[in-house]
A = this chain, B = another copy of it.
């Protein structure tokens, strides 16, 4: 294995076009040929408080360039492992087309992007946008086999319908369980008051959801949380950045104090990737206008990079 310093460019993080990790941009979705396909879903009309997540994909891409040092993979001295060697082919699909004032049309375009990634055999990784973009992401898995959803989030997002709204950022998990391919939910980090009322919790549990607060998850430990997921389940992981403590993720629409610190989530993801096949990922609700220091976008990029590293490290070990 080699690096590309000696023969090519130094390629410092602040240099160059901001695709995810400075990986190739593939505009033609019919010609995808990759292990991982990054899709931006800059839709934020589903928000109930602060908007701005439409700039989430651009902010996460920009932050991801910090992790694009030109080494041949990322060496982690704690794990004594080199993650994401060049054999893992990551591409950036750009963004799904968004139509203002049109939720259904925008969601349909996101679904088309995820379907294109799946059709190419790539792991779809969608960057929101608000959490409503999870709805078309899950829809795209129709016909792809059963999946279990691991949701890392502050909010349950299990509202069925209110004032006619069924596709806002308070509804995605309710919409997910309606999909035949979704066999169960593990909802971790849930805390404080939110748009989901008491009935929503009862409904979720009745439909097979396992709900854990931050304190409950900390008491179990990262491995303990993951051990509650059914053995052998194929995992779709949806990460709402507000699962994290506002201290490291202030840049989001509806921050909620008492969230996870970095290693809590990192270790859950590492444990999940070791035990389960990960078939899809989304990370949502990064709103850069509330992130003047950039630390939220950096967190999102760092989490995604590490998660991808864990997934493909596990795959390489069979």
- A residues engaging B (CB < 8 A)? 3, 5, 9-19, 25, 40, 42, 44-52, 54-55, 58, 61-62, 66-67, 69, 71-72, 74-78, 82-83, 92, 94-103, 105, 132, 156, 162-165, 167-169, 190-195, 197-198, 201, 211, 213, 215-216, 245-248, 250-251, 254-258, 261-263, 266, 289-295, 298-299, 302, 305
A257 touches B298 (CB 8 A): yes
A17-B12 Cα distance, complex, nearest whole Å: 19
B97 touches A11 (CB 8 A): yes
Q: Which residues of B contact A78 (CB under 8 A)?
A: 191, 213, 215-216
A266 touches B258 (CB 8 A): yes
Specify which of B54, B102, B168, B245 is in contact with A165 (CB 8 Å cutoff).
B102
Q: Which residues of B contact A99 (CB under 8 A)?
A: 10, 12, 163-165
Specify which of B15, B98, B254 is in contact with A98 (CB 8 Å cutoff).
B15
A294-B290 Cα distance, complex, nearest whole Å: 8
B100 touches A250 (CB 8 A): no
Q: Which residues of B contact A262 (CB under 8 A)?
A: 245, 257-258
Dominant SS among interface residues on chain A: loop
A215 touches B248 (CB 8 A): no
A105-B82 Cα distance, complex, nearest whole Å: 31
The smallest C-beta distance from A210 to any residue of chain B, in angstroms, reads 12
Residue of B nearest to A73 (CB): B198
Q: Which residues of B contact A61 (CB under 8 A)?
A: 17
B101 touches A201 (CB 8 A): no
